[in-house]
Structures are given as C-alpha cells and as structure tokens.
Amino acid sequence: MHEFSLAIEVVNLAGREAEKNGNRAIREISIEVGDLSGVEADAFESALGLLVRDSILGRAEVKIVRTPGIGNCLACQIDFEMSHRMATCPVCNCFPSEIRGGTEFRVVSLVVD
Amino acid sequence: MCETCGCGDSGQFKVFDQNHKHAHHDQEADHVHPHDHSHDHSHPHDHDHRHGTVINLNVDILSENNKLAQLNRRYFAGRKVLCLNLVSSPGSGKTTILEKTIKALIPTRKLAVIEGDQQTFLDADRIEKSGAPAIQINTGSGCHLDARMVELATEKLEIEFGSILFIENVGNLVCPALFDLGESKRVVVISITEGEDKPLKYPYMFQSSDLCLINKSDLLPYVDFDVAKAIGYARSLNPKLEFILVSAKTGEGLDLWYDWLAKQK
C-alpha cells in the first residue's frame, strides 16, 4: 500500500510549490498516473482524498489523468498499447524491447488564485 | 511534517541504535505529533470565477525520494561502499543468506547491514551474532524502506571505507520496487518453494533488479520448481538479469555469490 506514502509526497510537494508562489490558495492540482507506473490509480486517488482534507490541497480540485502504457517491439518495428506490464506485441507475441510510455507519475500543474 | 525531527506525520518508523537500547524516533519521544482534527463544519463557499494562475510543474512525485537516494549514492561512492538492496517476499531466506555470507567474508572484507522489518529487531540480532555491525529499521505500518530511512540509518551505523553494505528490505515484492535507496545494485531473492511464476506475478521487482538469487536449491528434489522456466520468465522481462542458484542451508552456490560480490565495484 505504497499509494499512501505517495499521496503524502504529493501534499508535501504542493505545499512547497504554494510557498514558492506566495502561499496562494491552490484551486486545482493535475496529476498524471501512467498505467505502467506501478501506482494503482484508484488506491492513490482514495489515499489522496483522505489526506488532502486538512492540507494545503483541502479546497483544491484533484484531477487525475491516466496515460496508457506504450511498448515498442524491435522485431516488428511497431509501438503497441500495454494495459499492464506483461502485455506482449500483438503481432509476434513477444515482450516489448522498450517501454516508451505509461511509466509517468508526476504532478503536471497547479492552478493557484 | 514534524517540526522537531523532520519526519513525516504518518511515518512512525524507528531507526534503532546499534545496541537497540533506544529508538531514534520513539513514539514516546519528548515531542508530540499534532493529532488530526476532523473538519466537518461547513465553510461558506463562494465560487470565485476569476481565472487562476496555472503553474506548470511536471515534477516526478518520487523526485524527493530519488534526490535523497542520489545523496545516499554519492555518500556510498565517496567511501567506496558497495551498497546492495536485497528484496524478496517474506521467508525466501534473505537473513540466512546474509548470516552465511557474513561468516564467510568477515575475515577479509568489511561488512555492515541495515535490516528493515515492520516490527522487532530479531533480524539485526541474528546478523550481529554472525559478526557484522547491524542496525534495525522498523517501518511500523510501512511496507517498504525509503531513501530517508536509509540516510538516518547510515548516520547511526559505522560504515567503514570499502565496506559492503547490505540493506535487507521489508519482505514484499511490490512496494520496495518503486523506492530507490541509493543502492549500487538490487538483488532479488526467490526460493524454490515459491513457484517459478514469481517473476511474472511481480514484474516490477524483476525488471528493476540486477541479480536474482534462487535460494533453497537443496529442496529441488522435493518440489515442482522448474529452474529453467523461472529464469526464462524473468529474462523475458529483464534480459540483463543475472542468476545464481544457491542453498543457504547447505552452502551450494554460495561461492558463486561471493565471486559476484567480489566483482562489483
């Protein structure tokens, strides 16, 4: 259940950014969670929902954007969508030689007053 | 964030002194953490339709942990310390492998151990009996070690120049995969009583590891574990992963493990 620790990181990060910007109230926070990031987006959202109540994000709208996993198959020279880490190339059924997307887990932006 | 010691409110992890006499971070410490207030009264809530200012960040949420891990890494590099993060599910034999390794290598190599468990300092006691200095971190409710815990532990543990530092992570194949501790190499331990499909079930851990120790080889005649299949599964996820089949009980394969250790810079 590392999603709770990660949610704490988000609240701390938002606090530091708000401070840099003259402690203006945060209206919105946008977070990107990749399907291959190792973060369970639903569990993370629940954890964050519990944590933000009395925090700097107490009145902010939390927007979670999920990005799909993208694998590259060197043999078939194609990119394909991966819904999970074990997804294989739809043409040759091999594991991807490279993961090109979906590992993101980041705060994209804040909207402050 | 706790103002007194800089810990996170929900962390409640403890780093013990080498003699386990007192915790750095005891819940009965002389500072108190503010309790949570419920917040169920309603606020007047006028909607403000002015446009806010957008601050683009694109900051990795694990960046704080990653920064601390980099600092740990530099600290270890400066002291020529080889730091290994040992991860596995509970009961794979990490502590027994460490006990054997310490007994074999302590005459010729400086060693130190950081032990991570949710509770107890049983493992640190076992390690110290085998002859290496050890420090215990109890994560409390936490399911993994993070870079900050390791930083605090290294402040307490005397790690001599040129040592190998083994960090025995909390037994868990899920969460520790995401948290860089500043290690030089990550070693995943599986045992043949666990089933050869472990790599497929926990791909993140096998993708992020450098070496896989397959332990309890002495039980191979009694269980249906196909070593080649397990290696095949893991290699399909991580072609660079190395493997050593060992038995901490009989000592089989441990020489190969010691050779691997000697080769690491």
Over the stretch A65-82, which tens digit does the pLDDT of each residue have? 999 999 999 899 999 999
Q: Which amino acid is at B117?
A: D
Residue B155: inside a domain: yes
B108: closest CA of chain A, how far (Å)? 39
Residue B223: inside a domain: yes
Q: Give the separation between CA B262 and CA B164, rounded to whole angstroms.
A: 10
| Digit-coded pLDDT (tens) for B37-60 | 555 555 555 555 567 899 999 999
List the one residue out of B197, B198, B212, B199 whose CA is nearest residue B242. Answer: B212
pLDDT at B176: 92
Q: Evaluate whether B163 touches B83 at the Cβ level (below 8 Å).
A: no
Residue B222: inside a domain: yes
Average per-residue pLDDT for chain A: 91
B50, closest residue in chain A (CA to CA): A113
Q: Which domain holds residue B137?
A: 63-263
Q: Provide the number of structural domains found in chain B.
A: 1
Residue B248: inside a domain: yes
Q: In this complex, which of A5, A54, A112 lies closest to B37 when CB atoms are compared?
A: A54
Q: Evaluate whether B57 touches A112 at the Cβ level (below 8 Å).
A: no
- Lowest mean pLDDT, pick from A50-59, B11-20, B241-250: B11-20
Average per-residue pLDDT for chain B: 86
Residues of A with Cβ-Cβ distance to B61 under 8 angstroms: 6, 9-10, 13, 31, 105-107
| Mutation for testing the B interface, residue in A1, A4, A8, A9 having most B CBs under 10 Å | A9
Residue B33 clears pLDDT 60, i.e. is over it: no
| Digit-coded pLDDT (tens) for B96-150 | 999 999 999 999 999 999 999 888 888 889 999 999 999 999 988 788 999 999 9
Q: Provide the number of structural domains found in chain A.
A: 1
Complex-level ipTM beyond the 0.90 threshold: no
pLDDT at A21: 87
Residue A110 clears pLDDT 60, i.e. is over it: yes
- Flag if B1 and A58 touch (Cβ within 8 Å): no
| Mutation for testing the B interface, residue in A2, A13, A35, A67 having most B CBs under 10 Å | A2
- Flag if B62 and A6 touch (Cβ within 8 Å): yes
Q: Evaluate whether B191 touches B216 at the Cβ level (below 8 Å).
A: yes
Give me the DSSP letters along chain B: --TTT---TTT--EEB-TT-SSBTT-TTSSS-PPPPPP--SPPP-PPP-S--EEEEEEEETTHHHHHHHHHHHHHHHHTT-EEEEEEE-TTSSHHHHHHHHHHHHTTTS-EEEEEEESS-SHHHHHHHHTTS-EEEEE-TT-SS--HHHHHHHHHHS---TT-EEEEE--S-SSGGGG---S-SEEEEEEETTS-TTHHHHSHHHHHS-SEEEEE-GGGGGGS---HHHHHHHHHHH-TT-EEEE--TTT-TTHHHHHHHHHH--
Kindly report the pTM of this predicted structure.
0.81
| Digit-coded pLDDT (tens) for B194-236 | 989 999 999 999 999 999 999 999 999 999 999 999 999 999 8
- Flag if B146 and A9 touch (Cβ within 8 Å): no
DSSP state of A28: E
- Flag if B57 and A86 touch (Cβ within 8 Å): no
CATH code: domain of residue B162: 3.40.50.300
Per-residue tokens: B75? 């600290």
A96 — pLDDT class (breaks 50, 70, 90): confident
- What number is the average pLDDT over the span A13-28? 91
Q: Which domain holds residue A75?
A: 3-112
- What number is the average pLDDT over the span A12-22? 90
Q: Evaluate whether A71 touches A101 at the Cβ level (below 8 Å).
A: no
| Digit-coded pLDDT (tens) for B61-91 | 998 899 999 999 999 999 999 999 999 999 9
Which residue reads 């060693």 in tokens? B111
Residue B184 clears pLDDT 50, i.e. is over it: yes
CATH code: domain of residue A57: 3.30.2320.80
Residue B114: inside a domain: yes
Q: What is the dihedral of CA A46, A41, B142, B151, to 10 degrees?
A: -120
Residue B94: inside a domain: yes
